[in-house]
Amino acid sequence: MKKLLTVSLLGLAVAAASSAHARDYDNVRIGVDVPYEPMEYRTAEGELTGFDIDLGNALCERIGVTCEWVEQEWDGIIPGLMSRNYDAIMSSMTINDERRQQVLFSDPYITMPSAWFAPSSLDISEANEETLAGKTIGVQRGTLQDNYVTDNFSSVADISRYSTADDMVLDMEAQRLDIVFLDFPIGQSTLLDSEEAEYVVVGERISEPKEYFGEGFGIAFRQRDEALAEQFNEALAELQEDGTYDEIYARYFGEE
Amino acid sequence: MLDLQGYGPRLIEGAGVTVQLAVLSLILAIILGLLTASAKMSRNWLLRRTATVYTTVIRGVPDLVLMMLLFFGGQIGVNAISDLLYYNYEIDIYINFNAFTAGVITIGFIFGAYMGETFRGAFMAVDNGQIEAGKAYGMSNALVFRRIRFPQMMRHALPGLSNNWMVLLKTTALVSVIGLTDMVRVAAEASRATHEPFVFLIPVAVAYLLIASVSEWIFARLQKRYDIGFGGQ
Amino acid sequence: MLDISAWFNDLLADNLIFTPTTLGYYWEGLVTTTQLVFLSLVAGLILAVPLAIMRSSKHKWISLPVYLYTYVFRGTPLLIQLYIIYYGVVFIDGIQETFLWPVLKEAFYPALIAFTLNTAAYTTEIFRGAIKATSKGEIEAARAYGMSQNLMMRRIILPSAFRRALPAYGNEVIFMLHASAIASVVTLMDLTGAARFVYARFYAPFDAFLFVAAIYLCLTFAILYFFRFLEKKLLAHLRPQNS
């Protein structure tokens, strides 16, 4: 099996070698996992939008390159970068040490705490081993929230893992889940603003310990693309300086 | 009418992806199936053995697991190759190993194993006397294959082929799980966004039935053609 | 005496991926997969027998609805059926207030329902084929004995049809095992679900998926040999008697 795979992969590689071209990046392909409202999502017409998308486009414009967005499921988003399906990842990716071993991160462009969200009927004021005992917790598979919940609560609660945040919200509304653990703004836009039912944030927003929650969201590059990462960092600093960043921020999160 | 709350065009695009994926995988599966059948009937021990291992392993593991192995693992495999080239020779290549490629390769590989069995049975069903007669006429091996073995074999293989195609068609739905935007994925996405699963999932189910019915009709016509001279059974 | 758990821990000592915890996930997955496949096969079998008899009926109004059912369930992907049932039940008005909800709320039961309806459709067609293939002589003999239609069905047609259906049904069991891999799509931690979890956590596709592929391969062989054994026992009368 493995042998067959290797052989077929070699075949692919040979086929692809003929279309080899050098990397001077006048076009940057960016991998993104859609939907993750309000960071990245599609309108019914299929148009890609969101905070990451707008900021990414603004960054590319500042650098003077064109951006091309490539959709990729979260499960395979880092391998996809490695195999050059795209040149960067801008998809609400938290910077942490585990990922740093595989990819090169830009400076954090936004910090985002996680939080517990539950229907107000659940009626608990804090999420801990006692209050979550016997509950069903929803998380997105392979996220830092998944790691945190798995390591801390898998002995007392059931954990349901989802491919997309949308799946999870739907099951929350269907009352299949008691509580979910999400990036705060995602929960805010999909649950707190929901008209279907009344949801509340349980306890404080969580961004500690750092080993799980990292240092904010960053754009990921291949380790060797240091020059490209540097260009993005400079552009980010400029956008934060001249107010463009605040304008995009206000578009999705309101004034703070 | 086909607007479906704005998702209509994307659903039709998704249906296009489904059909393309199914047809390309079918072509790959037929090629692999013919190779496997030849290998299984060959005098070479190693070829026979390899073909047997291939058909046994492929038919023993779920399609979805093979698909994920190839899709997620394939990216890392490709990555290793291109890194090797980059660090040793400074060749930077771009290999597009996307969900569509992974889907075609996996489905083609899986059904190649099933097709192998179908073709082997069909080749064996061809009357040896006819082949000998062909040779007696002084036909070359290639000509015997083209004029006698292949058309006769097809007559026996068509029912199995049609059956494999129907199963293959339904298997394409699995690519939606690894992230390819086929019609199932569009429908699932739309159901979540609008909270109306029936509006999207039922038309997609009907589309599958339609494609199946059309292909059934095509296979019936083909069978008629290859049955010429046998009084159609 | 060899301390097995110590040996086991040694074996896993330098392995970052296959820790006792992740092996626990695979074990949990094996249990879920087995339960799901076994229960849906049993329920599907129970449904399929009367359906196959109805499907073989001479009366159109009895056979046609069953035909429609098998046509739809065999003609569409199981994944779509699973989505329709899993997401669909939620939108039945007021379902959350009924006694059914605690059952349907778990991902396990919608998946079980979808798998059962699917395998029942395939099994119905397998049985129908086997019933149709009953030899005329057996039926005539039964009639000559003055058996009623019911008695003949019970004593003659069904027992011989079951035997004839055995090889095809064995394939259906393997098919169901493989099809059950999609349960992970609706959050179930079946074998494939465990592999997806391990993959997502460690970015190790080969370890995660090759391991689970090996487990499926073993299960497939177990089913294959079980049915070979059954065929040998039940179809003994069909084998040439040479010794």
Residue B29: CATH number of its domain = 1.10.3720.10
Same domain for A181 and A194? yes
Q: How far is CA C182 from the centre of its chain?
A: 13
Q: What is the mean pLDDT of residues A138-162?
A: 89
Interface test with C, best of B69, B186, B189, B200 (most C CBs within 10 A): B69
Split at pLDDT 50, 70, 90, the class of C64 is very high
Query: What residue type is C58 in one-letter code?
Result: K
Distance in angstroms (rounded) separating the CA atoms of residues C180 and C208: 18
Nearest to C178 among B63, B172, B187 (CB): B63
Burial A29-51 (b: 16+ CB within 10 A, else e): bbbbbbbbbbbbbbeeeeebbbb
CB C208 within 8 A of CB B65: no
pLDDT at A53 over 90: yes
- The answer to the question of residue A121 being in a domain is yes
CB C35 within 8 A of CB C111: no
B70–A83 C-beta distance less than 8 A: no
Measured at the alpha carbon of residue C238, what is the angle toward residues C234 and C241, in degrees to the nearest 5? 115
Q: Does B76 touch chain C (CB under 8 A)?
A: yes
Query: What residue type is B179 in one-letter code?
Result: G
For residue range A26-35, list pLDDT tens digits in order.
889 999 998 8
Nearest C-alpha in C relative to A6 = C206
Same domain for A87 and A105? yes
Same domain for A163 and A229? no
Is the preceding peptide bond at C50 cis, omega within 30 degrees of 0? no
Q: Does B6 touch chain A (CB under 8 A)?
A: yes
Is pLDDT larger for residue A236 or for residue C234?
A: A236
Interface TM-score (ipTM) > 0.90: no
Looking at beta carbons, which residues of chain C come within 8 Å of B176? 79
Q: Does B216 touch chain C (CB under 8 A)?
A: no
pLDDT at A255 over 70: no
Split at pLDDT 50, 70, 90, the class of A17 is very low
- The answer to the question of residue B151 being in a domain is yes
Predicted local confidence at residue A223, as pLDDT:
84
B81–A76 C-beta distance less than 8 A: no
Name the C residues in 184-203 with CB < 8 Å from any A CB: 185, 187, 189, 193, 196-197, 199-201, 203
pLDDT at A18 over 60: no
CB C36 within 8 A of CB C112: yes
pLDDT at A23 over 80: no
Distance in angstroms (rounded) separating the CA atoms of residues B40 and B64: 26
Distance in angstroms (rounded) separating the CA atoms of residues A225 and A103: 10
Residue with tokens 């046998």: B230
Distance in angstroms (rounded) separating the CA atoms of residues B179 and A163: 10
Distance from CA of C177 to the nearest CA of A (A): 20
Domain count, chain A: 2
Nearest C-alpha in C relative to B188 = C83
Q: Does B73 touch chain C (CB under 8 A)?
A: yes
Split at pLDDT 50, 70, 90, the class of C13 is low
Residue with tokens 């260009």: A231
Q: What is the mean pLDDT of residues C151-156?
A: 86
Distance from CA of A208 to the nearest CA of B (A): 31
Q: What is the mean pLDDT of residues C83-102?
A: 81
- The answer to the question of residue B233 being in a domain is no
pLDDT at B96 over 70: no
Q: Does B59 touch chain C (CB under 8 A)?
A: yes
Split at pLDDT 50, 70, 90, the class of C218 is very high
Q: Residue B210 sits in which domain range?
A: 8-226
Residue A148: helix, strand or coil by DSSP?
Answer: helix
Q: Which two tokens stand for residue B164?
A: 């494999």
Split at pLDDT 50, 70, 90, the class of C114 is very high
Q: What is the mean pLDDT of residues A144-155?
A: 89
pLDDT at A185 over 50: yes
Chain A with chain B: Cβ pairs closer than 8 A: 99
Predicted local confidence at residue B125, as pLDDT:
85
Looking at beta carbons, which residues of chain B come within 8 Å of C178? 61-63
Is the preceding peptide bond at B62 cis, omega within 30 degrees of 0? no
CB A115 within 8 A of CB A182: yes
Distance from CA of C64 to the nearest CA of B (A): 17
Domain count, chain B: 1
Looking at beta carbons, which residues of chain B come within 8 Å of A169? 192
B65–C80 C-beta distance less than 8 A: no
For residue range B180-233, list pLDDT tens digits in order.
888 998 898 888 778 788 889 999 999 999 999 999 999 999 888 888 766 544
Residue C121: helix, strand or coil by DSSP?
Answer: helix
Is pLDDT larger for residue C110 or for residue C18?
A: C110
Q: Residue A234 sits in which domain range?
A: 28-111+215-253
Same domain for A104 and A119? no
Phi, psi of A194 (to 5 degrees): -70, 145
Same domain for A199 and A239? no
For residue range B108-133, list pLDDT tens digits in order.
999 999 999 899 988 888 888 888 88
- Using CB atoms within 10 A of its CB, is residue A239 exposed (0-12), middle (13-18) or buried (19+)? buried
In whole angstroms, how far apart are CA B105 and each of A14, A19, B9, B138? 16, 20, 27, 40
Average pLDDT, chain C: 87
Query: What residue type is A230 in one-letter code?
Result: E
Looking at beta carbons, which residues of chain C come within 8 Å of A75? 196, 199-200
Q: Which fold does the domain C22-135+166-235 belong to in CATH?
A: MetI-like fold (1.10.3720)
Is pLDDT larger for residue B36 or for residue B102?
A: B36
C209–B72 C-beta distance less than 8 A: yes
Could you tell me which residues come within 8 angstroms of residue C103 by beta carbon, excluding any fewer than 6 positions away? C109
Distance in angstroms (rounded) separating the CA atoms of residues A120 and B180: 37
Same domain for A49 and A102? yes
Q: Does B43 touch chain C (CB under 8 A)?
A: no
Residue with tokens 């934060």: A240
Residue C154: DSSP 8-state: I
Split at pLDDT 50, 70, 90, the class of A21 is very low
Question: What does DSSP say about strands A66-71 and A27-32: parallel, antiparallel, or unpaired?
Answer: parallel
Predicted local confidence at residue B79, as pLDDT:
67
DSSP output for A200-225: EEEEEEE---HHHHTTSB--EE-TT-
Chain B with chain C: Cβ pairs closer than 8 A: 108
Query: What residue type is C51 in one-letter code?
Result: L
pLDDT at A13 over 80: no
